[in-house]
Chain A
Amino acid sequence: MNSARSRWRAVLLRHESVLLALLLAEILFFNVAGARFGSLNNAFDIVRHSVEIGLLALVLTPIILTGGIDLSLGSLLGLCAILFGKMWRDGGMPIELAAGCTLGIGALAGALNAALIAGLRLPALIVTLGTYSLFRGLAEAITRGVDTFTNFPPVLLALGQERFAGLPAQGWAFALIAAVVWLLVHRTTSGRAWRAIGFAPEGARYAGLPVTRRIASAYVLAGTVAALAAIIYTARVGQAKADAGTGYELLAITAVVLGGTSIFGGIGTVHGTLLGVAAIAVLNNGLVHARQPREVAGMLTGALLLIALTLSAAARGLGSRRG
């Protein structure tokens, strides 16, 4: 009895539970305050609008778990989007091949980050600050800032705009990546290694973990998925331009941190990140339905982050005092 109760309390006091409660509160609130917020179509809008940032947040989770950071993902999204468009329109590639090559480019870009961070052991913040400018700069240079790719074939546009088996098509891609990342983080040795590195990189090295390889794999995964996000973005908006994905890296980092991942590494879950993405997406969408001005969204996202962190710290304090 007693142990069941304390287990129950431990679950309740977890960061994810606090966040889930906040998310439910948001949903209930907007359902009362906003017209048509609770409709199925709106749920699909929320999914469509949050897939790209959600993908970036998913793959940022392992990186942040290792104590790293990747600021270049939004810029990489932009670069991949325009290269995707360029290979298809100017290179004459079939759209499927162009998509495949784009994923390869994303992986290569991720490998560049990985080589500098894991190989040369340079600080991730500085390396990705560099590639943040480099990738966006390349995208702008290639298009000279004005070239826009458009008129994509229907098969691509369907990925961003149509439904597949009842759900927005990109929702399936997101679910797949979410499942893969969840399994990687929570059910494989890679996941345990990422956490161990985040806790104590030198300790992990002495423990015989392949630290370099594990860190590198997180950045390559992130690059590849950023390329996927670029393809989905292009399909949703119907155009690829050099400014695609501007600012997405910060939104994704916000979602990860809101989801309870420690920015110092070592602690965090993928389902927490998913809740973080959902909490931000619902807030942004709900405000529109409640007819609140858009500028409030940024303010409330910040407030949400601070409230979630405070509540969860308070809950932890409660747990440790009584436990």
Chain B
Amino acid sequence: MHRFLLIALCAVSFACQKSADRDALGGKKLTVALLPKSKGNAYFISCKKGADTAAKELGVDLIFDGPTDPDPAKQNEIVENWITLGVDVIAAACENKEGISTALRRARSAGIKVVTYDADALPDARDFFVNQATPEGIGQALMDEAAKQIGPEGEFAIITASLTAQNMIEWQRHIEAQRAAKYPGLKMVALRPCDDKKDLAQSEAANLLGAYPNLKLIMAICSPAVPGAAEAVKQAGKAGQVKVIGLGLPNENRAYVKEGVTQTVILWNTLDLGYLTVQAAVATAKGTLTSGATVLTAGRLGEIKVEGDQIVLGKPFAFTRENIDEFDF
């Protein structure tokens, strides 16, 4: 047995020796490592598409890797591998805020720049957060879209995930603020929770249609509620008569949007999010974006506002019958 040990030791020392004379990764080209929450998620694949465009424009190498199984420690392991690999900058969408921050801090102390996108880490674990949408932006976009659909007067109802979820409360607060300021003729007649479930959203929407005959629009602010409300409106034979808008994903609403049951789905443009993330990552790595900056010049997106340590993608994006086929997530 000890003969084998000897062979093993020889091999390992050989291994160490060999890598010593090969240090940097493929010359001077900057390497950006993009970490999604999970790798197979169509949302992140769509982000990657935008990221690829930016990487090509900027002439940098892009590594895209993320967990494929539900092990919450996987993101950490990937980041730690990247530290050893010696990438220049890491852009992470964080599944576990506190957990991943441990690994990201290590990366920073190893001299790697870190930006986060989609879901932030703890502030001391990254240089910048590319924020896809502020609650204010989302609230305003939803309310503006509602007014665009039904005009200055009429009744509408909101279906939410739950009456206590923090993000829902915040969005709704901004919806109400925008309504009071710009569309006082519009009246919110009901606010119903659906427990983040499509079938419950559908029955709530059906109830609303029965209870409020003058209802002109249903606004669904959690993603399962958008197709849920659309299905109820469709089954009631009120497609087009009662409009449906909401915050959701293109794929699960595509059929309803094309049929004209759902008018608009609001979200951010994932292609732009990936694009901006790589732009921000490269600018941070090159030192052209440092703390205190107020603006980032981001290729085709032009000048992007930087607020503190957050880079804000800007206005949410409206998916409609005209453009929804450009997106697949």
Contacts and interface: CB of A to CB of B under 8 A. Distances in A.
Contacts of B39: 294-295
Contacts of B4: 17, 20
Interface stretch (B98-106, B255-263, B317-325): B98-106
Contacts of B85: 35-36, 288-289
A161 B102 contact: yes
B164 interface: no
A41 B84 contact: yes
A36 B15 CA distance: 10
B272 to A, nearest CB: 25
A244 B72 contact: yes
Interface in A24-68: 24, 27-28, 31, 35-43, 45, 48-49
Contacts of B15: 27-28, 31, 37-38
Contacts of A70: none
B102 A38 contact: no
Contacts, number: 115
A20 B8 contact: yes
B236 interface: no
Given A36-B85, A161-B106, A288-B65, A243 B72 contact: yes
A239 B96 contact: yes
Interface in B10-46: 11-12, 14-20, 22-23, 25-26, 39
Interface in A154-208: 157, 161
A230 to B, nearest CB: 12
Contacts of A24: 7-8, 11
Nearest to B98: A150
Contact of B68 (A17, A285, A298): A298
Contacts of B101: 238
A27 B77 CA distance: 19
Nearest to B99: A239
Contacts of A214: none
A291 interface: yes
Interface string A225-258: 0000000010011110101111110000000000
B66 interface: yes
B211 interface: no
A36 B11 contact: no
Contacts of B7: 24
A323 interface: no
A244 B76 CA distance: 13
B18 A38 contact: yes
Given A11-B1, A28-B11, A288-B78, A247 B102 contact: no
A92 interface: no
> At the interface, is chain A mostly helix, strand, loop or mixed?
helix
B80 to A, nearest CB: 5
Contact of B81 (A38, A148, A151, A288): A288
A241 B100 CA distance: 13
Contacts of A285: 81
B311 to A, nearest CB: 26
Contact of B25 (A35, A48, A245): A35
Interface string A271-311: 00000000000000100110101110010000000000000
A45 B84 contact: yes
Contacts of B1: 11
Interface of B: 1, 4, 7-8, 11-12, 14-20, 22-23, 25-26, 39, 63, 65-73, 76-78, 80-81, 83-86, 96, 98-99, 101-102, 106
30 contacts: A17-B4, A23-B8, A31-B15, A35-B22, A36-B19, A39-B19, A39-B84, A42-B84, A43-B12, A45-B81, A45-B84, A48-B80, A150-B98, A161-B106, A236-B73, A236-B102, A237-B96, A238-B102, A239-B96, A239-B102, A245-B71, A247-B69, A288-B78, A289-B81, A289-B84, A291-B63, A294-B39, A294-B67, A295-B68, A298-B68
